[in-house]
Each structure stands twice: as C-alpha cells, then as structure tokens.
C-alpha cells in the first residue's frame, strides 16, 4: 500500500499503461535510471494526487500494477538517475515526463523555463541543473480503454498500381468546411464528415496521406513570434493522436471513426510519421520525455556524449540501433495498423531510419525489422529518401516493398513545362516510372511516388505565379525555405488580372496535372491543388495555421472550378485505362507475355535518334505505347504550336483524342483525329488512342 493505493509488482510487458478490465499495469523502459516514480493527477491535471515508486525492475523495465486505476486517470513519470550530460545522462526528477507509450494526452505544453532540465541563462548552460517542478506546465498522459467496435470495417486494400494519393492536413482539410460545426472543425471528427469525404470520392483519389497526426507541440520560438507548428513534424509521443485534432469532449475513438468512414468510402488512410527525431531538440532543448527517461538510450549521441549526433536538422536523431528504442517504434507502427486500422505510412526523413550512423544501409536494422514484420508487411510503406546527414540522399536505394517520394520527378516536370532546355531524357525516364532508379530487385513502377507539389514548397497555383519565395509571414526575413523552386510566374510575380497571363497559368497547371496522372508510378496530389489553393508565394508555410494553408471548396473562382472538373476527368481517364498505371515497367511483362514497347518519336513522326535526345533546344516529344489499343502522348513545352506527324496506327481507322491539356478537354470515349499531321498546342499535352474497330 502506497499513499493509500494498493500497489502490486505487475508485469514488464506490455510497455505503457495497460487497462485489463480490472486495473492498470504501468511499465516503462529505462536502462540507466536509479528509480522511477509514477505520478497520478486529478481529473483536470492540476494537482498531483499520488507519487508512487514503481516496485520492480525487470530486463531494464520498471513496472507496477494498480488495481484502483481506471481509464481516464491522468499520469506522468519522474525518473531518477545521474545528471551527467558529459556522459550522456540527463535525469532530473523535478521534470514530469510523458510516457513514450501513452495512448492519449490531455492538455498542451505551456512554455516555461521549468520544462528545461538546466537553468536557462546559467553560465554553465546545459551543464547546470534546474530544480523547479515542471508538472504545472506539462500535458498529462491518459489511461485509455482501447476497446472499440469496428463492426464491418473493411480495409480497401487498393493495389499499389491503382493507388492515387491525396496529401492532406486534418485541420487544413476541414477548418473552412461550412458543413461541419464550429465545435468540430479542424478535427478528426470533421474529416469524417460525409461532405468532406464526398469531395475526395468525387475527385477520384484512393488514399489520403495525412500530415503528422501523432502528438506534437508548438515550438517555443514560434509561440513567442505569434506563430504555430502547423505542419507538426516534431513528434512528442508516438502512440498518441495530436490533441489539437480531437474535438472538445472527444477522445482517441474520433480517430478510429474517421478511419472507418474513409474506409466505407473506399479510401485508404496513410499516416505521415516522424520517427527520425523528437520534439526535445538538441542539448539546449526541453526535457519532455525521452531525454529525462534515458537520454543515452533513446538518442544517438556524438563522440562527445554531451551533444547529439544529428542527421535530421532538428537537433537529435532517434537511436534505432538500440533494441528497446527499435521496439518502441515497431510497437507504435503496429498499434496504428492493428488498433487504429491505418493502411500505411509515409516516413519523414527516412534515410535517418536506415543509417548505421555514418551512412545509409538498405539492410539497416529498422528496414530489416519492418520488412519481416507480418503486420507491417501488408501495409503501404513510403520513404522520404533523404536526410541532412552524410550521404543522406538515397532516392531509389530503399529495399523492395518500399515506395519513395521522387523529388527528381517534381523538379524535371516543373522545369520541362516552364520551358527549360535539355530535359527530354529526364522527362522520358520519369514518364516510365523512373526505371533507372527503381527497376531493380523486383521493384515495380509504383515504387516511384510522383508529385509536382507537396506540403513543402509552392502549391501548383503558386508554381505558375511566382518565381521567388515570399515567406515574410514566417518572420524570418524571408531566409527560410529553399530557393530552387523550378517555377515560372508567366510574366507577372503574384496576382494579376491580365487574362492572357491567367490563361497561360491555367494551361501550365493543366499540363503538369495531366503529366502527373498520365505517368507510370504512384501519383500524389497536394490538398487544394485541384481548386487553385495559393499560399501567396510562401514555400515554407509550416507555421501558418490560417487560411494560407486551409482548403476552401465553396464559391470557387470560375477558373478554379473548371480546373477541378479537369482534374476529376483526368483521374477518371487514368483509372479507366490500365496502360496509364501498369503493374510492371513498360519495357517488361509477366512471364509468358510480350512486353509493352514504348517508342519515342520526333515531331516528324520518326524515331528519336541519339542526337535528338542531346539537342538542348528540343522541347517536343512523342511517346507511343504499343498496347491494345495503342496510346500516343505528345508533349510540347515550347511557347509555339508544333506540327506533329502522327505515326500509322495498327488499325486503318487512325487516332482519336482522349485529352487536350491546352484546351482542357478530356474525352474518355475519344474524338476522331484523321489528319496526317496534328498541331500540338504550346505548353500542351495531347493524349490519343488508336481508334477501336
């Protein structure tokens, strides 16, 4: 009996706070702690009602069982041990710590010097020691009853080759939706609204990739500037949903309801997850969880263990080489799949997850663990194939079973359509799933996640309206964000009323969207690109929780309404013709079948010769796909129309037009084209199909 509370030894497994229907088992890993105290709080999280030393230490796990503790109980930890930063240890029992396995948090961090393990402003910096209690400004963990009735939830299991991804933000998708109440806007519950899901269904996408939904906080320096961490790439707890996405009075079940509603509509849910670093930053950062629980185990430390080995640019790197840290990440991934029914993950800075410290290794312990896992082996896995460390850029080098964000596709397609020279070789490669990067070890075209835009960078509308970044709203004197945008303002920087420039911008974005959806590989569309969402030229809107980042679907400008219909039509065209999303590289075929052959054509209708590929001024290309029926795609990024001699079709009936990006016409049933020559419009893509007998 401790503080009037019955305490039993409990079990070292499972880790976290586990309600068994009778009481709650608490278990937390710390190899170097000397004592771990469980702290219980009242319902509002303001008063610590009990402080209980966990009685047992088994296999480096501290554990205890409390029969009286029920779901809803608020708790945290205080961990004792040496405060010795020069040897990698930063224990400070004055700091209330978040359970790494917490399934739910209540409250948000209130930035105060007390959350730091050292004395802010002290001459000894992080070697000093702060004795203030941080509990009054820390969120509290919540004991959760994970039981939920899923009913007949059926995962869509969309084949990779048929997948079309829509990158979205929970709040951004719902903050301006008039069909949801003010109480739930910006939440998981709002994303479950039928009207929100209806937009995704009518668009034709098959998966929504949600930007970080695991618990994160607003950084102190952003709060002090009146900004917020909108994107959320600064995770503090890997099992808990972000409290800002839970409506008042709601709970973790809101997330599960959202997943079920999307599944009912045939849409998969992919989570953007950040396991490469945490919100605790470098040695001068706060003590929120891992740092105070066992700094030397959870993080990769430098040659001088006072400092962190950082390959993320965020101050620290999670130490996946440690078996217990690896276990935590694997347990987290399985939790989101098994308990929350998500369908896949996009891994932020995934090169850091595949490191053996100095360099990337496709057989790194984490990548091997995921590959053999029977749960994770059946969901979609997407890597952001770079980090900030040595040899961090690893596009194409992830193992079989993984897809990868292909930024080379983005840069090449943007540059081609704005008229840059010498891009035909790159364009042709990317149109065929970037086989030079991905056609190895049995990988398929879908391994290339093709995108023109993503959350990081310009929107599609801004790509054709700005030459330069305009990030003043971020209050960093426009120094943040990259300057290599591969964009073109079409003659005027920013907004304009000039109809000729607006027409050209519309033509450019139609050409890029059509190219994306007609390319082999997995297309990814950024939320709002289909309706002309603009960030006013801000290419790093990570801290803008306002209409700059929010999706507006009502009262669309006529041009944007037309572009929405165009995007829907091109997606439908892609889905209606297998040749646009072939399961194999087009120069290959399943055993016993003839490969689909691709021929590259010059404007005179003849095959491209080596010198044609190396002509820097060449901006027109024909792509003939021998299939049943044949498909002909004609690309022209020149500012003038180019006459193209059509090749003879396999039938005597010639060709019919499926898509004209310049005019915006999409005709799935085809419209006849009988001329021996066809004028390919400036900045235009034509897609033709052999006329069926």
Q: Are 531 and 564 in contact (CB under 8 A)?
A: yes
pLDDT for res 148: 86
Element (H, E) at 409: helix 407-417
Rounded CA separation 675/419 (Å): 27
Rounded CA separation 409/423 (Å): 11
Q: Are 575 and 162 in contact (CB under 8 A)?
A: yes
pTM of the model: 0.97
Q: Are 188 and 241 in contact (CB under 8 A)?
A: yes
Q: Are 544 and 600 in contact (CB under 8 A)?
A: no
Length of the chain equals: 693
pLDDT for res 628: 86
pLDDT for res 693: 67
pLDDT tens digits, 358-379: 899 999 999 999 999 999 999 9
Name the residue among 687, 597, 587 with its Cα closest to residue 636: 687
Q: Are 237 and 100 in contact (CB under 8 A)?
A: yes
pLDDT tens digits, 477-535: 999 999 999 999 999 999 999 999 999 999 999 999 999 999 999 999 999 999 999 99
- How are beta strands 665-673 and 677-680 bridged, if at all? unpaired
pLDDT for res 3: 64
pLDDT at 592 > cutoff 70: no
Residue in 48, 126, 348, 530 annotated catalytic: 348
* For the chain, domain boundaries: 16-143, 597-690
Rounded CA separation 136/288 (Å): 13
Q: Are 658 and 618 in contact (CB under 8 A)?
A: no
pLDDT at 312 > cutoff 80: yes
pLDDT tens digits, 112-138: 999 999 999 999 999 999 999 999 999
pLDDT at 406 > cutoff 90: yes
Catalytic site includes residue 591: no
Name the pLDDT band for 596 (thresholds 50, 70, 90). Answer: confident
DSSP letter for 2, please.
B
Rounded CA separation 53/34 (Å): 11
16-143 matches 597-690 in fold: yes
Crossing angle of helices 323-338 and 290-298, rounded to 10°? 120
Q: Are 331 and 366 in contact (CB under 8 A)?
A: no
Residue in 37, 294, 384, 690 annotated catalytic: 384
pLDDT at 653 > cutoff 90: no
3-state secondary structure of 57: strand
With a CB cutoff of 8 Å and minimum separation 6, the contacts of 531 are 551, 552, 553, 556, 560, 561, 563, 564
pLDDT for res 674: 77
Q: Are 595 and 588 in contact (CB under 8 A)?
A: yes
Name the residue among 323, 334, 335 with its Cα closest to residue 59: 323
Crossing angle of helices 194-203 and 558-576, rounded to 10°? 60
| Third-level CATH fold of 16-143 | Immunoglobulin-like (2.60.40)
Catalytic site includes residue 108: no
With a CB cutoff of 8 Å and minimum separation 6, the contacts of 321 are 300, 356, 357, 365
Name the residue among 259, 264, 217, 256 with its Cα closest to residue 237: 217
The tokens for 592 are 């016993």
pLDDT tens digits, 238-278: 999 999 999 998 888 999 999 999 999 999 999 999 999 99
Compute the average pLDDT of residues 51-79: 97
pLDDT for res 361: 94
Compute the average pLDDT of residues 278-296: 98
Rounded CA separation 329/380 (Å): 16
> Taking the mean position of all CA atoms in its chain, how far away is CA 486?
21
Rounded CA separation 436/443 (Å): 11
pLDDT for res 234: 95
Q: Are 30 and 115 in contact (CB under 8 A)?
A: no
pLDDT tens digits, 325-340: 999 999 999 999 999 9
Name the residue among 6, 10, 24, 11 with its Cα closest to residue 103: 24
Element (H, E) at 369: helix 365-372
Find tokens 């706060």 and name the residue: 286
HSE on the CB side for 265, CA within 13 Å?
26
The tokens for 126 are 């992080």
Find tokens 């303001």 and name the residue: 46
pLDDT tens digits, 423-446: 999 999 999 999 999 999 999 999
- Per cent of the chain over pLDDT 70 is 99
DSSP lists the bridge partners of residue 526 as 167
List phi, psi (to 5°) of 608.
-60, 135
Architecture of domain 597-690: Sandwich (2.60)
């Amino acid at each position: 009996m401790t503080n009037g509370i019955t305490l039993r030894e409990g079990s070292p497994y499972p880790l976290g706070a586990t309600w068994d229907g009778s009481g709650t088992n608490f278990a937390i890993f710390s190899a170097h702690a000397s004592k771990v105290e469980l702290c219980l709080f009242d319902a509002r999280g303001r008063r610590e009602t009990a402080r209980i030393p966990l009685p047992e230490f088994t296999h480096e796990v501290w554990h205890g069982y409390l029969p009286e503790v029920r779901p809803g109980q608020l708790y945290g930890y205080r961990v004792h041990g040496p405060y010795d930063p020069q040897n990698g240890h930063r224990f400070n029992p004055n700091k209330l710590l978040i359970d790494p396995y917490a399934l739910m948090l209540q409250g948000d961090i209130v930035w105060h010097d007390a959350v730091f393990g050292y004395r802010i402003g002290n001459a000894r910096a992080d070697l000093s020691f702060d004795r203030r209690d941080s509990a009054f400004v820390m969120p509290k963990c919540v004991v959760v009853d994970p039981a939920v009735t899923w009913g007949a939830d059926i995962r869509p299991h969309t084949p990779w080759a048929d997948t079309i991804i829509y990158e979205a933000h929970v709040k951004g998708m719902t903050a301006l939706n008039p069909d949801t109440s003010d109480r739930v806007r910006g939440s998981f519950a709002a994303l479950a609204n039928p009207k929100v899901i209806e937009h995704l269904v009518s668009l034709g996408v098959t998966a929504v990739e949600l930007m970080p939904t695991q618990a994160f906080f607003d950084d102190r320096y952003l709060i002090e500037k009146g900004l917020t961490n909108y994107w959320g790439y600064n995770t503090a707890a890997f099992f808990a949903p972000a409290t800002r996405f839970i409506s008042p009075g709601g709970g973790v079940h809101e997330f599960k309801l959202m997943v079920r509603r999307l599944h009912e509509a045939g849409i998969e849910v992919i989570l953007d997850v950040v396991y490469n670093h945490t919100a605790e930053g470098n040695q001068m950062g706060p003590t929120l969880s891992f740092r105070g629980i066992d700094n030397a185990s959870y993080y990769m430390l430098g040659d001088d263990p006072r400092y962190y080995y950082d390959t993320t640019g965020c101050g620290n790197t999670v130490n996946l080489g440690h078996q217990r840290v690896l276990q935590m990440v694997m347990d987290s991934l399985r939790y989101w799949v098994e308990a929350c029914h998500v369908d896949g993950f996009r891994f932020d800075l995934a090169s850091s997850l595949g490191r053996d410290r100095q360099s990337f290794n496709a057989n790194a312990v984490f990548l091997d663990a995921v590959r053999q896992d029977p749960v994770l082996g059946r969901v979609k896995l997407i890597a952001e194939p770079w980090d900030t460390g040595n040899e961090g850029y690893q596009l194409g080098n992830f193992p079989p079973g993984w897809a990868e964000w292909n930024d080379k596709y983005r840069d090449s397609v943007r540059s081609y359509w704005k008229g840059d020279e010498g891009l035909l070789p790159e364009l042709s490669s990317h149109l065929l799933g970037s086989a030079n990067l991905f056609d190895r070890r049995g990988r398929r075209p879908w391994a290339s996640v093709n995108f023109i835009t993503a959350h990081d960078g310009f929107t599609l509308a801004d790509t054709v309206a700005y030459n330069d970044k305009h990030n003043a709203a971020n209050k960093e004197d426009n120094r943040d964000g990259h300057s290599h945008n591969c964009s073109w303002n079409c003659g005027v920087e920013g907004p304009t009323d000039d109809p000729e420039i607006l027409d050209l911008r519309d033509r450019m974005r139609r050409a890029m969207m059509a190219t994306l959806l007609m390319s082999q590989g997995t297309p990814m569309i950024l939320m709002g690109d289909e309706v002309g969402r603009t960030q006013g030229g801000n290419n790093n809107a990570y801290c803008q929780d306002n209409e700059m980042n929010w999706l507006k679907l009502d009262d669309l400008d006529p041009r944007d309404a037309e572009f929405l219909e165009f995007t829907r039509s091109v997606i439908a065209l892609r889905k209606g013709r297998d040749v646009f999303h072939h399961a194999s590289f087009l120069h290959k075929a399943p055993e016993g079948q003839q490969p689909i052959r691709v021929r590259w054509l010059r404007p005179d209708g003849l095959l491209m010769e080596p010198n044609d590929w190396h002509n820097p001024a060449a901006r027109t290309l024909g792509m003939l796909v021998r299939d049943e029926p044949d498909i002909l795609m004609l690309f022209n990024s020149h500012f003038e129309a180019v006459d193209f001699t059509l090749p003879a079709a396999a039938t005597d009936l010639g060709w019919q037009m499926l898509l004209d990006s310049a005019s915006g016409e999409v005709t799935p049933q085809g419209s006849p084209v009988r001329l021996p020559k066809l004028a390919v419009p400036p900045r235009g893509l034509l897609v033709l199909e052999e006329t069926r007998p």
